[in-house]
Amino acid sequence: MTQYASSKVDDAPAPVSASALCALGAMSALLSGDHREPDILRIAAESVSSAGCCDALGCYRLVGGEYRLGTGQSAPPDLDAQLRARNGAGRLRLPGRRWAWALPLRDRSGVVGAIVVGADREPSQEEMFLLTVLARLASVALADGMRRERAAAVAADLTEVNERLSATVLWLRRRTHVQEVLSDAAAYGGGEQGIADALGQLTGLPVAVEDPFGNLRAWSGPGRPDPYPKAPPRQREQLLRRLAAHNGPLRVRDRVIILVKPRTEILGTLALIDPDDTAVDAEIFALAYSSTMLGLELAHQRNLAEIELRLRRELVDDLLSGADGDSAFARAEALGYDLHGEHYVVLVHGVDSASAEAVARAATALELPFLHGRRSGMVVLITDRRPDPAALHRTVRAHLDTAPVAIGISGRCARPADFVRAFDDARHAIDIRLRSPTPDGATAYDELGFYRLIDAARTDGRVERFIREWLGLLLDYDRDRNADLVYTLSQYLECGGNYDDSAAALHIHRSTLRYRLGRIRQLTGFDLRDVDTRFTLQAATRAWRFLSSTAPPDRPSRATDRTTPD
């Protein structure tokens, strides 16, 4: 047997016949097309018979160190081991075949597979050459096919990456546009209404901004309800808890709602009115970003209000303590208040700190420019216009639920140094009002008249001595007998000595009044017909009433319709 087949396969071939060359040309033409790996291996297997006496027994691919036969083919059990032992090239032993050979399929990395051929005789040198060339052509076709497949896979990956990149760029552009529009709305000072308008422009949907209690703060777009519906407190609290637990936009019936919560405190809610359920990712993102901007805006507004309130209170406190004039003018100007010209100090008693803003709203309703703060447990207003006492008290009471509310108004201040004195004047007016029969009301210090003298004189006890000198006997009698002679005398003098008016004011009969007046003459010896006596007694009874807080104006007598002495 000739031995070239086992060792001389790659030597220079013997002359090849024209028919063999034609067969190689035809196979080369077939393999040069754009084929996938299964087709290349099939063409190569079909072309083996054109090389002469051989048949293709199988086309193998080296995968993970093992030679695997193509789909639908079968091979002897030990063939994989033979191929691995010979690195996919050389003579094989196959049952039923006198001759078998593995033609290696190679690329730059080495052997990648093999074409197993068999025959009943050993092929000639020409036939062996043709089989070798066929294997090389198949190797080249496989390499080209793999390159094409890799290139196609890379192209597909690049296309997918480009599509994702384009989608990401579009996504970023949309979000950047949302951020720019909303940032501009906040930066240009539009406040919550500006942010609501910007969100409505971005989404094409109506927008509602509500405070924590469900009151409407801002609306943008068509269809605003009038009146605006407000949920019951318990239902509102449940909604806020749901939104807090969800921690993001939540659809509630025809709205997509999100909390406005810059830190831990809920400042309100922001909602898209979306009955047709058209809000998608872009609208939801715009809503979420708007809630962030709105939270910053509302927190900024609150901080500014707190700072301004603190500065106003500090300025008011300093003015009432005797602040320097130049400094006071500059600080007031920074707060938007003109401290030049005449001013008045207003004190409001009976209002707690939680209701202080109601006093400010009342002053605003009366169109009074003002600074306000708190001092000595009272609300303080400094205004450049003297308010009408009755109108001021009526407006303050309209904004408050508490009663009584006593208001004191100072005299005119010509310069900042006068505020200390004005505060004392307003406080004296409050004291006088609180000691009066009607503490619920307003008193202007410059209208007190006689009571200013009493208030000034009572500090050293002279008023008490004056009252004791003229009314002491009657006060003792009232105390010992549980009577009302001093009060009766006061009402009689206030009515100008008129019996009918006095009896009506005291809710007693004329005869009872006559009896009491007679008893007063007996005890004191006063002649109530004497003008000077009546004037002095009226001053004494007014001072008594001013210093006493136990004499309401409409109190009925403890002894009504009494015509005889006890």
DSSP notation for 71-87: TT----TTHHHHHHHTT
Give the torsion sign (CA, 337, 339, 344, 346): positive
What integer is the mean pLDDT of 13-39?
66
Q: How many angstroms separate the CA atoms of 380 and 393, rounded?
A: 14
> What is the mean pLDDT of the segment spanning 261-274?
89
**pLDDT reported for residue 198:** 92
pTM of the predicted protein model: 0.48
Nearest-5° Cα angle at 162, 158 to 164: 115
pLDDT band at 24 (very low <50, low <70, confident <90, very high): low
User: Of 276, 269, 327, 334, which is closest to residue 295 (Cα–Cα)?
Assistant: 269
Written as six digits, the tokens of 253 are 């019936």
Tokens (6 digits) for 74 = 């079968």
Region for 277 from its dihedrals, namely left if φ exceeds 0, alpha if ψ lies in -120 to 50, beta otherwise: left
What pLDDT digit, counting tens, does each position of 537-566 carry? 888 888 887 777 433 344 433 333 333 233
- The reported pLDDT for the residue numbered 235 is 93
pLDDT, tens only, 129-155: 888 888 888 888 888 878 888 888 899
Are 371 and 381 contacting, i.e. CB atoms less than 8 angstroms apart?
yes
Residue 393's contacts (CB-CB under 8 Å, 6 or more residues apart) are: 405, 407, 440, 441, 442
Please tell me which residue, 450 or 415, carries the higher pLDDT value: 415
pLDDT digits (tens, 9 = 90+) for 116-131: 888 888 888 888 888 8
Instruction: Give the list of residues 6+ apart from residue 463 with CB closer than 8 angstroms, or none.
Output: 454, 457, 543, 547
Specify the length of the chain in residues.
566
Q: Which two tokens stand for residue 121?
A: 């005789």
In this prediction, residue 311 carries a pLDDT of 75
Q: What average pLDDT does range 64-75 have in this prediction? A: 74
pLDDT at 10 exceeding the cut of 50? no
Question: CA separation (Å) from 291 to 179, 205, 389, 407, 487?
Answer: 12, 15, 45, 43, 67
Indicate the pLDDT class of residue 400, thresholds 50, 70 and 90.
confident
